[in-house]
Amino acid sequence: MIRPRRARTALLWSIALVAALIALFPFYWMLNTSLKPASEVFVSPPTFFSAHWSLDAYANLFATRSIGRYFVNSLIVAVGSTLLSVFLAALAAYGLTRFFPRGATPFVMFLLFTKMLPETLLIIPYFQLMSDVGLLNTHFALILAYSSFALPFSVWMLIGFFRSIPREIDEAAMMDGATVLQTFVRVVLPLARPGLVAVALFTFLIAWNSYVWALVLTTDASMFVLSVGIANMVGEYRVQWNELMAAAVIAALPVMVLYSLLERHLVTAITAGAVKG
């Protein structure tokens, strides 16, 4: 009985490891290429390890391009969207669960609908409207856009969280003389912290990773975010792949760090709703 069991575990592990290799190899290659000197990028066969790994590509990238600027733009937009979206979502979810428990359902259906709108349809009016009011090439336009499609999910998730906090807790606080706002801020919000963290993380990642909105809403190179700046480098006459991969590392690293620190929260966020039926 022991033999087949061991063989089975070995088989399962080999499948898992092959899959892990496929999942991660592109990232290894990104890192490997970004550390190579320019002369070694265009050699055949390619080197899987290099004796000449260095940070030259990164240094070049910062010296010759506005990658720092793109990074700051991405950061401003992602943090701005996160703050706006979490603030609005917390208010709405609390209001719905505490004051309009029956109204929550139609509202959630509406949110679901907005979550499914095709981005490429919405970017057309966004482009027209933002250029009408002179908001093209502003962080604000991107913050509005990202909040608009992070918000439905955030409200939906937080409704679940606030429902799980017993209303007796609010009532007790109000009996003690707290106002509605005080109850919300001092009593309920701290209890909903895991939900707020998950929602904030999710919004940050959506905004940080987004591409097509920034592609359309920014035309001035000084306003590019990382994803657009990187995709633009691809179109160049002679692509410096080591520098391009260095830029990809800079875009991917914050996501990976955040994600590995807060994996549990994020998994909760992703599986919420879909699994619980």
Query: Residue 262 interacts with another protein (CB under 8 A)?
Result: no
Query: Residue 268 interacts with another protein (CB under 8 A)?
Result: yes
Whose tokens are 């509406």? That residue is 110
Task: Choose the stretch contacting another protein; rule: CB under 8 A; options: 52-60, 62-70, 75-83, 240-248.
Answer: 240-248
Whether 196 and 155 have beta carbons less than 8 Å apart is answered as no
* Binding to another protein, residues 58-77 (CB under 8 A): none
Residue 254 identity = P
- For residue 184, the minimal CB distance to another protein (Å) is 8
Letters for 216-235 (x = contact with another protein by CB under 8 A, - = none) are x---------xxx-xx--x-
Q: Which of 54, 64, 182, 271 binds another protein (CB under 8 A)?
A: 271
* Binding to another protein, residues 103-162 (CB under 8 A): 105, 107-109, 112-114, 116-129, 144-145, 147-148, 151-152, 155-161
Q: Is the peptide bond before 45 cis (omega within 30 degrees of 0)?
A: yes
Chain centroid to Cα 233, Å, comes to 22
Query: Residue 4 interacts with another protein (CB under 8 A)?
Result: no
* Binding to another protein, residues 78-107 (CB under 8 A): 88-89, 91-92, 94-96, 98-100, 105, 107
Say how many residues make up the chain. 277
Contacts of 244 (CB under 8 A, 6+ apart): 230, 233, 234
Region of residue 247 (phi > 0: left; psi between -120 and 50: alpha; otherwise: beta):
alpha
**Rounded-to-integer distance, Cα 73 and Cα 84, Å:** 16
Radius of gyration of the chain (CA): 23
Letters for 13-52 (x = contact with another protein by CB under 8 A, - = none) are x-xx--xx-xxx-xx-xx--x-------xxxxxx------
Q: Which of 51, 63, 175, 274 binds another protein (CB under 8 A)?
A: 274
